[in-house]
Amino acid sequence: MSRIHVRSGETIDRSLSNLAANEPNTFDFVFLDDFERESYLDDYEHAVRLLRSGGLLVINKALNNGGVLSGIEVMSDDDRAIASMNGRIKHDARVRTSLLPYGGGAWIIIKK
């Protein structure tokens, strides 16, 4: 039996940690887009906890339109937060990843 539950908007921002705590390893797909830079790393961790093995996580704007490719001294706060999250994703043994370098960039992440 197939179940699809769409959760979006500000409500999900407040409840992502609750979902991860109460429904770990149950989601097939999570899409993160336009989330707050202060919570990039936390939201990534919560999303990975939510995914079942083989689940897919897509994170939009992973290159912030090239801003994260600038030198650290000229990066904006958003760029630095995204670069930090990108480093975490790159070295995360729980997932397999591919970074798509189009537009703002996107991570395609599969939980092992």
Q: Which CATH number fits domain 10-111: 3.30.365.10, 3.40.630.10, 3.40.225.10, 3.40.50.150?
A: 3.40.50.150
- Give per-residue pLDDT as tens, 66-97: 777 777 778 888 888 889 999 999 999 999 99
Sheet of 95-100, strand order: 27-32, 51-60, 106-111, 95-100
Tokens matching residue 32: 């993160």
Q: How would residue 12 be classed by pLDDT, with cut points 50, 70 and 90?
A: low
**pLDDT of 10 over the 60 cut:** no
